[in-house]
Amino acid sequence: MRSWSLAITLAAGLSARGAAGRDEPSILRRACPDYTSYASTAHAPYSGGPLNLPYQRPAAECRTFVSNAVEQVIDDVTSRMVDKDMAQLFRNAFPNTLDTTIRWHVNSTSTTSSSRKIKRDGAQWQGAQTFVVTGDINAEWLRDSTNQLTGYQTLAKKDPALYNLILGAIHTQAEFVIQSPYCNAFQPPPPSGIQATNNGQQDTVHPAYEPSVVYECKYELDSLANFLALGNEFYENTGSTEFLTSRWYLALDTLLNTTDAQSQPTFNSNLQYVQNQYTFQRQTTLGTETLNLAGIGNPLNGGTGLIRSAFRPSDDATILGFFIPANAMMSVQLKKTADLIRAAGGDQTLASNLQTRGENLEQAVRQHGIFNHEQYGEVYAFEVDGYGSRIFMDDANIPSLLALPYLGFVDKSDQVYQNTRKMILDPNGNPYYLTGTDFHGIGGPHIGLENAWPMSLLVQALTTDNVTEITNSLNLVRNSSLLGLVHESIDVNNIQSYTRPWFAWANSVFSQTILKVAAEQPEVLFGAGAEPYVIS
* Residues 286-298: tens digit of each pLDDT: 999 999 999 999 9
- pLDDT band of residue 29 (cuts 50, 70, 90) is low
Q: How is domain 41-526 classified at the CATH fold level? A: Glycosyltransferase (1.50.10)
C-alpha–C-alpha distance, residues 481 and 81, integer Å:
17
pLDDT given for residue 26 in this prediction: 52
What average pLDDT does range 498-516 have in this prediction?
Answer: 96
248 Rama sector, left if φ>0, alpha if ψ -120 to 50, beta otherwise: alpha
Q: What residues are paired with 383 via a beta bridge?
A: 323, 391
Neighbours of 218 (CB within 10 A): 25
Mean pLDDT of 500-528: 96
Which is nearest to 186 in space by CA: 210, 164, 202?
210
Residue 364 parent element (H or E): helix 348-369
Closest CA to 33 of 54, 56, 14, 67: 56
Mean pLDDT over 459-488 rounds to: 98
Return the domain boundaries, the chain. Answer: 41-526
pLDDT-based confidence at residue 23 (cuts at 50, 70, 90): very low
Span 40-67, pLDDT tens digits = 999 999 999 999 999 999 999 999 999 9
pTM: 0.92
β-strand pairing of 203-206 with 279-282: antiparallel
- For residue 222, the surrounding DSSP H or E stretch is helix 221-238
For residue 343, pLDDT over 80 is answered with: yes
Amino acid of residue 498: Y
pLDDT tens for each residue of 370-390? 999 999 999 999 999 999 999
Q: Band of the pLDDT at 28, cuts 50, 70, 90?
A: low
> Mean pLDDT over residues 247-251, rounded?
97
Confidence of residue 10 (pLDDT cuts 50, 70, 90): very low
How far does CA 49 lie from the centroid of its chain? 30
Q: CA triplet 318, 225, 108: central angle to 5 degrees? A: 135
Spatial CB neighbours of 505, under 8 Å, sequence gap ≥ 6: 134, 135, 144, 147, 148, 455
pLDDT, tens only, 131-173: 999 988 999 999 999 999 999 999 999 999 999 999 999 999 9
Mean pLDDT of 2-30: 39
175 closest CA partner among 163, 158, 161, 187: 187
CA distance 35 to 420: 39
Q: Above 50 in pLDDT, residue 90?
A: yes
Rounded CA gap, 81 and 317, in Å? 41
| Whole-number average pLDDT of the chain | 92
Neighbours of 343 (CB within 10 A): 12
Q: How far apart are CA 82 and CA 284, in angstroms?
A: 49
pLDDT at 482: 96
Contact 321, 297 (CB under 8 A): yes
pLDDT at residue 122 tops 60: no
